[in-house]
Structure 1
Amino acid sequence: MKKVVTWVTLALGLLPISVAAQGQVNVTIPSGTIMGSSVEDVEFFKGIPFADPPIGELRFKPPQSLSTHLGDFDATKKAKLCSQGPVISAPSKPQVVPFALEAERESFGNPVPPENESEDCLTVTIHRPAGTEAGDNLPVLFYIFGGGFVIGGTSAAINDPTVLVQTGIDLGKPFIFAAVNYRVGGWGFMPGAEILRDGSANAGLLDQRKGLEWVADNIAAFGGDPSKVTIWGQSSGSISVFDQLVLYGGDNTYNGNPLFRAAIMNSGSVTPVDPVDSDKAQAVYEHVVRVANCEGDDSLGCLRRLPNERFAAAANAIPGLISYESLALSYLPRPDGTVLTASPHVLAREGKFPAVPMILASQEDEGTLFSFFQGNMGSTDIITDYLNSLYFPNADRSLVKSFVETYSERLEDGSPYRTGTFEGLLSYPGKKRIASILGDIVFTLVRRWTLETIAEVSPDTALWSSFASYNYMQPWDILGLGTKHGSDTDVFFARNNTYFPSITGRTYYINFVYNGDPNDGLDVNVTWPGWKEDRQLLWYNATENGYLADDFRNGSYNFIKEHIDSLIF
């Protein structure tokens, strides 16, 4: 493994940092004068509306262009989060129930104070280097937050880009960071035939697209270049990035110009999924209608007329993101024939995406965070029944069992990987095995399938991929999370640049934002190999970077590749 020299000297001040006093800064756009503020070298404009409030008759509807003038708009306060879905729920007794909607469960509540939430939430937040002016034409990094399509927002602390933007300034590669708020949970991704007939499927994806259109129309006034936009997402935001690639059959243009020129996907890419009116999706809709007491000929109209508090109680009467049901999500983008014309894996295979440079990243232990509440998974048959009921209801049980059998029952082979028999607290039979499977079917091995498919159908598309082991064998990891899903948000957003993975990772990404190539620009020391060359991953570690062959768990990968049309969520 090739090592790099540490960049602590660079991070600690090889490039000077100027400190600006906090103060107000204004930008005028067609919809109003946006009044922001600055802290040190970074200016911010928070919660700028880009669409009419999606309330009342507009609940579930595609976003409508902003129809009111903002006047002098105070953009110095935190943007409201969109109404949030359930976070954690655990059944009173682990059991497999069709579509996971009837299990008795205990809710652990939403950790976000309700006063920080609003159904009127379609906003963009901008961070830029202090002193940036119209005409500076800086590249733009457009961020789509994660949270399992049920939680999250631009104002969440884990998504604060101040250090990232400051790093660009310090390295002499300034850029603008734009983050979009979009509807989550039942507000943004309600499924069902009624939603399909109403033309209201995938509203959350359309919120993201409307935010991109706002950037195209307005970012020049903030000093950005609308022709130099890179889209970036993490987790469900990363899945959203891939969906933006294939939206409208791969048409990413607006007013005749591309909305973005490159894409970064951290932990998420293709998700093979059934249509918005499939049996599983319809069961979700009918469950919400029943809980809301909206059964009847006008169930959708009834849901729209509910006060938001009552609608939230019904929409959130589904498993939380951290639950027995785990990644068998009730709310997520689903094919509707118009916005998503087919399952994303089908669109990928048909080459219906713009051939822009792409980075796809994975954490080593993507599944551990989602394997707390399953209980006994101590046999192949138990895991088969679990996956067949919740994840792959249309697949033959024998096929699902054959897939499970590609995973070893040995503790030494499960996740967290490379930790021997260590399981961590809250262990149960089969925990490391189910963690491995969940991480692969949603993130790690599906990432490889996405890369291989793109490479085959679009040979000119430049591809890079990475694998992160920042937290391997850390003494504080008593829960057995390893380098868990979401570890990268801390690395890219929170940690300072004395932390080796942060300064290196940020440098690769800043190069990519500038040039569509993570190696082109600032010195990275370890060249990030293109994935198509010989399927090498950039391997992030705590004190060095190196290379890793993208061929681990090949038996499971080959099974996914052969049967992906049957392994549909």
Structure 2
Amino acid sequence: MRCNTVLAAVGLLVAAATTNAAKSCKPPTVVLNAGTVIGTRQNGVEYFNGIPYAQAPTGALRLKPPVRLESFASPGVIQATGVGPACPQMPAVDLTPLLLEVLFTLPGAQDTLTFGSAVPGTETEDCLTVSVMRPKGTRADAKLPVLFWIFGGGFEAGSPQMYNGSVLIPESVSQGKPMIIVEVNYRLGAFGFLGGKQVLADGAANLGLLDQRMGLEWVADNIAAFGGDPDAVTIWGESAGSISVFDQLALYDGNNTYKGKPLLRGAIMNSGSITPTEPVDGVRAQDVFDTVVAAAGCASAADSAKLECLRGVDYDTFYAASNSVPSYLSYTSLAFSYAPRLDGRVLTASPEVLAETGKYAAVPIIIGNQENEGTLFALFQSNITTEAELVSYLQTVFFRNATTSEVAGLVATYPPNPASPAGVGASESIYPEFKRLAAILGDWEFAFMSRLLLETFPATVPAWSYQATYASGTPIVGTYHSTDMPRLFYEKDAVSTAIQDLYISFVHSLDPNNDKAPSSGGYLTFRWPTWQEKKQLLELGVESTSLIDDDARAASFEYIRAHLERLRL
């Protein structure tokens, strides 16, 4: 019975029943040191959306590290009952008529291109919030494990709004492994990841990562009031969110302690880990800074005053300037305009160096990729018809510090029409160098970086790795980047159920094999071994799973690994 129906009939009920009805209709409420949070309840889940964890990063605080919010504005109550805000977004897709024809005829493509985007009218610069979801009736002393979600979107777009993480909660409850989910908003584009020598000098680099870190600190300070266990936090992300997960492990050379305790105990990385990058004051980041400054009308200011000029322009001007550079779904593709970059303090070195030198918090992890990670990002370069043009594109757009012969050497490790991306027919190239570019991008950004991280991982810390092939055979793109998102958040089939079971088990016990739920329906019938045992991946197929060796394109892997210092973004 709905609450309004109960209250309408309250005059007909006995006093005891009236009291029970009133209790069931009272919105969930949590009292924090900063004030009171009022949420909503639906389908067995209690939601608290859009709780601020930092002061509004506006005015003088624009392009500054986040400042902790100590108390809510008067009257000290947050109505966390809506969808919550989204940070300013960049337009995510640059679609030509050809791409429109290709993408919007593919199953799930429209969902993939809109996942994580903001609900219209909710974008605001004052966006540093977290959303909390918990099982209905969770007591403050429940000490439930916590799953901390970091959304993806190329560091340019995304929000917690479009990811229905709450679907994991009823499933976790049914398995006797209830959990709490926290989703964090962090600044994007120029608001959160602007580079340049002026940014470095001002201490304003990697602001989006600092936002995420403050969100984790908020969990440490406050999640116990929601019934969560601050000592049992697993961080999870996809794409840019997954890259952010590794960065959170590597921040401050792996120091993830806060008030003397670790902020997390486990990590899950979907499609992203290490992204080799040049410094925050390098040529690429400086080009972006100069473009944004010019677009904002601040180019005439002295170098030392350019950031203050950006802080002083109105929101619409700065927003337009932030969007004056290419998006990650465009011709420049994964050569991100905005990305975390080494600054000597937050990130002390390029991520692959931090991995190879062990300067990250080694906690149990699940890490994996889609089989065809690069196909989505190779749809925008139809003018690349020869090997020479491919070499030129990669050197000009991606690997500016490499020589022509070094880039040509990389391309030579891939055949002209490679079997990889697997699951994509040999004739399904929308331009002559499509499949080779797709293979290189997918390997360089995703598959090989996962393998490199796993190669550095301590033998004593368990790591599980997978490769998804459940969309194998999809025309042109195969099991493309982000095809896991519908399966994790919206679809319900044997594949999605099995993955959810593995993740729930991992969050609960740091072992995906611990008491697997029978709901997977026989899709996964064997123990998932750690990667360290035989360097194998769990292949998530269409109807069943298997184990495969993690040695695909070994010559290309070794070439990239040997030349990473020259192949940074």
- TM-score scaled to structure 2, two decimals? 0.89
Amino acid at match of 1:30: N
In the alignment, is residue 64 of structure 1 matched against residue 67 of structure 2? yes
1:85 equivalent to 2:86? Answer no
Residue 566 of structure 2: SS of its match in structure 1?
coil
In the alignment, the residues of structure 2 paired with residue 488 and residue 313 of structure 1 have an alpha-carbon distance, to the nearest angstrom, of 32
Find out whether 1:494 has 2:494 as its counterpart: no
The residue that corresponds to 1:363 in the other structure is: 370
User: Deviation per CA, 1:289-335, whole angstroms, max 9, x where unpaired?
Assistant: 11111012111111111111111111111112211111100100001
1:222-241 matches, cutoff 5 A: 222-241=226-245
- Equivalent residue for 2:42, pick from 36, 39, 42: 39
- Corresponding residue for 1:49? 52
**Structure 1 residue 113 displacement after superposition:** 6.2
Query: For 1:321, which of 324, 328, 333 is the aligned residue?
Result: 328
Alignment correspondent of 2:7: none
Partner of 2:180: 176
CA shift in 2, pair 1:41/1:91, >3 Å: closer
Q: From the CA coordinates, give the structure whose radius of gyration is larger.
A: 2
Unpaired runs of at least 5, structure 2: 1-22, 99-112, 518-523
Aligned position for 1:96: none
Residue pair 2:118, 2:158 contacting (<8 A) in 1 also: no
1:245-275 per-residue CA deviation (whole Å, 9 max, x = no partner) reads 0101100000000000011110000111011
Larger RCO (CA under 8 A, 6+ residues apart): 1
1:111 Cα deviation from its structure 2 partner: 7.2
Code of the residue aligned with 1:244 in structure 2: it is: Q
User: Structure 1, unaligned stretches of length 5 or more?
Assistant: 1-19, 94-107
Which residue number corresponds to residue 157 of structure 2? 151
Secondary structure, aligned partner of 2:233: strand
1:413 pairs with one of 384, 395, 419: 419
Question: Would the aligned equivalents of 1:23 and 1:37 in 2 still touch at CA under 8 Å?
Answer: no
Match of 1:348 among 327, 351, 355: 355
Match of 1:130 in 2: 136
2:149 aligns to what SS in structure 1?
Answer: strand
Alignment partner, residue 447 of structure 2: 444
Counterpart in 2 of 1:13?
none
Task: Quote the Cα distance in structure 2 between the aligned partners of 1:365 and 1:350.
Answer: 29
Q: Secondary structure at the match of 1:117?
A: coil
The answer to whether the aligner puts 1:330 opposite 2:334 as a matched pair is no
- Secondary structure at the aligned position of 1:115 is classed as coil
Q: Is the 8 A contact 1:23 1:39 kept in 2?
A: no
Contact 1:262 1:358 in 2 (8 A): yes
Match of 1:242 in 2: 246
Query: How far 1:392 moved relative to its partner?
Result: 0.8
Map of 1:139 onto structure 2: 145
Aligned-partner Cα distance in 2 for 1:325–1:91: 14
For residue 294 of structure 2, the aligned residue among 290, 294, 302 is 290
Question: Cα deviation per residue 1:181-236 (whole Å; 9 max; x = unaligned)?
Answer: 00011100000111111111000000000000000000000000000000001000
CA contact (8 A) 1:472 1:483 kept: yes
Closer, same or farther in 2 for the Cα pair 1:394/1:154, shift >3 Å?
A: same
Tell me which amino acid in the other structure corresponds to 1:198: D
**Closer, same or farther: CA 422–168 of 1 in aligned 2, 3 Å:** farther
Please tell me the residue identity of whatever aligns with 2:122: N
Contact kept? 1:122, 1:207, Cα under 8 Å? yes
Deviation at 1:91, TM superposition (A): 8.8
Q: What is the aligned residue count?
A: 522
Deviation at 1:85, TM superposition (A): 1.5
Q: In the alignment, what sits opposite 2:507? A: 513
CA apart distance, 1:418: 3.2
Change (3 A) 1:202 1:414: same
* Matching residue's letter, 2:479: T
Quote how far apart the aligned CAs of 1:22 are: 7.2
**Counterpart of 2:484 in structure 1: which amino acid?**
D
Aligned counterparts of 2:222 and 2:372: Cα–Cα separation in 1: 39
Partner of 2:197: 193
TM-score normalised according to structure 1 size: 0.89
Question: Equivalences for 1:388-427 in 2 at 5 Å?
Answer: 388-410=395-417, 413-415=419-421, 417-423=422-428, 427=430
After the TM superposition, which segments of 4 or more aligned residues of structure 1 sit over 4 Å from their partners? Answer: 20-23, 90-93, 108-114
Contact 2:166 2:181 in 1 (8 A): no
* TM superposition shift of 1:525: 2.9
Q: Give SS of 1:229's match.
A: strand
Distance 1:542 1:307, change over 3 A: same
Distance 1:31 1:68, change over 3 A: closer
Question: How far apart are residue 378 of structure 1 and its match?
Answer: 2.5
1:425-464 residue pairs with structure 2 within 5 A? 427-454=430-457, 458-464=458-464
Q: What percentage of residue pairs aligned between the two structures are identical?
A: 45
Distance, in Å, in 1 between the alignment partners of 2:469 and 2:94 is 29
Judged with a 3 Å threshold, the aligned counterparts in structure 2 of structure 1 residues 114 and 511 are, in CA distance, closer, same or farther, namely: closer
Q: CA deviation at 1:414?
A: 3.9
Q: CA deviation at 1:170?
A: 1.7
1:379: Cα distance to partner?
2.1
Call closer, same or farther: CA 1:21–1:486 in 2, change over 3 Å: farther
Alpha-carbon distance in 2 for matches of 1:163, 1:171: 13
> Structure 2 counterpart of 1:262, which letter?
G
Q: Does the 8 A contact of 2:35 with 2:71 survive in 1?
A: no
Segment drifting more, 213-222 vs 377-386: 377-386
Deviates more, 1:238-247 or 1:554-563: 554-563
Does the residue aligned with 1:82 lie in a helix, a strand or coil? coil
Deviations 1:5-24 (A, max 9, x none): xxxxxxxxxxxxxxx97761
Deviates more, 1:260-269 or 1:534-543: 534-543
Contact 1:21 1:40 in 2 (8 A): no
Query: Are 2:202 and 1:203 aligned?
Result: no
Contact 2:424 2:477 in 1 (8 A): no
The CA RMSD measured in Å over matched residues stands at: 2.1
The one-letter code of the counterpart of 1:383 is L
Give, as a single letter, the amino acid of the residue that structure 1 aligns with 2:556: S
* Alignment correspondent of 1:503: 497
1:271 equivalent among 252, 269, 275:
275
Which structure has more helix as a fraction of its residues?
2
Structure-2 residue corresponding to 1:300 = 307
**Alpha-carbon distance change, 324 to 91 in structure 1, aligned in 2, over 3 angstroms:** farther
1:484 paired residue number: 480
Provide the residue aligned with 1:97 in structure 2.
none
CA drift at 1:409: 0.6
Residue 28 of structure 2 aligns to a residue in which SS?
A: strand
Structure 2 counterpart of 1:388, one-letter code: Q
- Hey, what's the Cα distance between the residues in 1 that align with 2:512 and 2:257? 24
Deviation at 1:377, TM superposition (A): 2.3
More displaced 10-residue stretch of structure 1: 273-282 or 79-88: 79-88
Aligned partner letter, 2:433: G
1:376-395 aligned within 5 A = 376-395=383-402
The answer to whether the 8 A contact 1:376-1:429 is kept is no
Gap change, CA 1:267 and 1:21, over 3 Å in 2: farther
Q: Residue type matched to 2:472 in 1?
A: Y
* Contact 1:90–1:324 (8 Å) recurs in 2: no
Structure 2 match to 1:12: none
CA distance in 1, matches of 2:165, 2:423: 32
Distance 2:257 2:158 in 1: 27
Counterpart contact for 2:328–2:337, Cα < 8 Å: no
- Cα distance per residue 1:85-128 (max 9 Å; x no partner): 231236999xxxxxxxxxxxxxx999756522000000000111
Moved more, 391-400 or 108-117: 108-117
d(CA) in 2 for partners of 1:371, 1:252: 36
Q: Pick closer, same or farther for the CA change 1:41–1:460 going to 2, 3 Å.
A: same
